[in-house]
Amino acid sequence: MTLSARFRPRGGLSLWLGATLVAVLIAAAVLSIIWTPYPPTAIDIPHKLAPPSHAHWFGTDNLGRDVASQILAGSRVSILVGVIAVGIGLAFGIVLGLIAAFSKGLVEDGLMKLSDFMFAFPALLLAIMLTSTFGPGVVNAIIAIGVYNVPIIAKLTRATANGVLSREYALAARAAGRGPIAIAVDHVLPNIAPALIVQATIQFAIAILAEAALSYLGLGAQPPQTSWGKMLADAQNVLYNAPRLALYPGIAIALSVLGLNLLGDGLRDALDPKLKARS
Amino acid sequence: MLLEVAELAVDVPTPSGLQRVVDRTSFSLGEGESLGVVGESGSGKTMTALALMALTPEGARVSGSIRFEGRELVGRSEDEMMQLRGDRIAMIFQEPMTALNPLRRVGAQVAEPLMLHRGLSKREAQARAVELLNHVRLAEPERAARSYPFALSGGERQRAMIAMAIGCAPHLVIADEPTTALDVTVQARILALIDGLKSESKMAILLVSHDLAVIAGHCDRVIVMYAGMIMESGPVEAVLRQPRNPYTLALLEARPRPGAPRGARLATIPGAPSVAHGHHEGCPFAGRCALTVDICRTVTPPEVAFGAGHISRCHRAGEVGFAP
């Protein structure tokens, strides 16, 4: 026990493993902007369904497109979806959560009932509803996932902000004559940031999964755009001939989600001093 | 009079409806005067203090009158109260551990009211904050200003809180159990600091405490609260030497005293503190009082005056005396 504790890296194994996986994901996305082995959408029928080789590391798909290039390009879509969808969730969720926490009474009840109403729809159902209404595409998929994030962040913000507002320093700030906006910015936000960061990481993972699912269903990325979910859908057609084609995007999605979840867990342990002291 | 409170009542919402926690209290406070508020937990002393700053919990109802510097505070808008808070009326809290934001530097927190109410720039306010920290005799004020609260001891944090409170030279400082969370020695130094600050400026102090010794040593007048009601009030000397209310007497007898025989048990007040009883008639202390007679349970006792502003709310006030 003491031995493993001594060799455990600072911040915990999950933090470092998660951070490494996420770093690889980000590196792949950045790399894909400037370089991919082949243009990810270049069709090369004569070399279709080629097995992994020196020329094509992961082989080619049923249209002869280079799978490695598509995985790299797909990572960019995943990151983009995650960043914007979580960004939408944070921007609106924090504001609504703070309004609820500060206003109390009817406004708070109303906002929270609205959140509960949104919770009643599973993430994917909500996304399918929005994309089928406003048309399929990455942009609408991002908005749909972002909308799904709003009530989650709003609820978390309200709950943690209420915790901070019940602390004496929030009362002391009021006793010093500070208004609600100043208290929100100077006292509430810094103190609830750790919880929000952790939740944002988890939501990032959920966003990647949701985008993959939507693209798989044909509601996300549209041809010629590539995405991991769309790669899965394409691979399904040739599942008996080349099952490995489903494997690559599947592994990419699994490792990204695993990395983000580990990072979230690790950050929670690292940012919460009470948990740390106990372990 | 700096502060005149008349018939102040506070009702706070509970799951079972509004509960009266401060019941028709009236008191006043002159410039440069210090008034002690003493009572058990739940006696309404903190709620009285919060009502003065309009910081009662959400949904609470405050009625009666609070006149501060000739202006009525009850019913004032939040915006108007915000301008008073931290400027003319300041507050020192009980827990120096939790009354400072753990994530902001002490200097920045002390500077806040100065920027807000005095319009100082960030740089000016920071410089003034260091002066204030020095004024409350914090060792190494520059270092303290740059520190986060965790780096300061309890006593140092309470000094920082006091610096924050006196920054704008308030006319009234409300200190809610300012030394309860501190060691006895630190407590004495903090109280001496408050005394010193009071004598060098004209500020009045409302000192809320459950500790009779603290009140006796640092206040001019005292009000004794029970179940939201003022049971006795008057000059500290008179009230504590010759209490005219059985509740005050019981509190005094429950004190640990030096020279008591070894193994002697502390006197206690039988029963549990009752919560404010709202509009029911009768004396709130009747269930626990040794002098209770029938009238105590049915008629709210009147205020009986004993000269020099000494008032007791008791049907048998004249019979109260030190037990042998």
Residue A162: closest CA among A198, A187, A199:
A187
Contact A190 B104 (CB under 8 A): yes
ipTM, two decimals, is: 0.83
Q: What's A137's domain CATH number? A: 1.10.3720.10
For residue B65, list its beta bridge partners: B6
Q: Establish if B234 belongs to a structural domain.
A: no
How many domains are contained in chain A? 1
Which residues in chain A land under pLDDT 50? 1-9, 276-279
Average pLDDT, chain B: 89
Query: What average pLDDT does the segment B269-283 reach?
Result: 71
Cβ–Cβ under 8 Å, residues B311 and B295: no
A34 touches chain B (CB under 8 A): no
pLDDT of res. B224: 94
Residue A229 resides in a domain? no
Better-scored residue on pLDDT, A9 or B72: B72
* pLDDT confidence of residue B278: 55
* Cross-chain Cβ contact A171/B100 below 8 Å: no
Task: State yes or no: cis peptide before A224, omega within 30 of 0.
Answer: yes
Question: Is A215 among the domain residues?
Answer: yes
Question: How many Cβ atoms sit within 10 Å of the Cβ of residue B215?
Answer: 24
Cβ pairs bridging A and B (under 8 Å): 68
Enclosing domain of residue B148: 96-169
Per-position b or e across B281-320, b if 16+ CB within 10 A of its CB: ebbbbbebbebbeeebeeebbeebebeeebbbbbbbbeeb
Q: Please tell me if residue A277 touches chain B, with a CB cutoff of 8 Å.
A: no
Distance from CA of B177 to the nearest CA of A (A): 13
Which of B58, B84, B190 minimizes the C-alpha distance to B136? B190
Residue B132 lies inside a defined structural domain of this protein? yes
Per-residue pLDDT of A200-217, as tens digits, reads: 999 999 999 999 999 998
Q: Work out the number of other CB atoms within 10 angstroms of the CB of residue B261.
A: 5
Domain that holds residue A118: 19-30+81-224+255-278
Is A97 contained in some domain? yes
Number of domains composing chain B:
1
What was the pLDDT predicted at B279? Answer: 56
Chain B residues in contact with A178 (beta carbon < 8 A)? 82, 86, 112, 116
Query: Which residues in chain B are contacts of A105 at CB distance < 8 A?
Result: 58-59
Kindly state whether residue B321 falls inside one of the protein's structural domains: no
Given a cut of 90, whether residue B89 has pLDDT beyond it is yes
Please indicate, yes or no, if residue A48 is contained in any of the structural domains: no
pLDDT at B272 over 70: yes
pLDDT in tens, B209-236: 988 889 999 999 999 999 889 999 999 9
The shortest CB-CB distance from B82 to any of A171, A179, A186 is to A179
Question: Is residue A38, in this structure, part of any structural domain at all?
Answer: no
Whether A241 is in a domain gets the answer no
Q: Quick one: angle between helices A123-134 and A138-165, nearest 10?
A: 140
**Residue A171 in domain:** yes
Q: Tokens at residue A161, please?
A: 């902000």
Q: Which residues of B touch A174 (CB under 8 A)?
A: 55, 85
Is residue B210 in some structural domain? Answer: no
- Chain B residues in contact with A190 by the CB 8 A cut-off are 101, 103-104
Q: What is the DSSP letter of A186?
A: I
The residue with tokens 């007497």 is B249
Asked if B113 and A176 touch (Cβ cutoff 8 Å), the reply is: yes
Residue B287 is assigned to a structural domain of this protein = no
Domain annotation covers residue B266? no
Q: What is the pLDDT of residue A3?
A: 47
Q: Which of B94, B104, B113 is the closest to A177 by Cβ?
A: B113
Please state, for a pLDDT cut of 70, what percent of chain B lies above it: 97
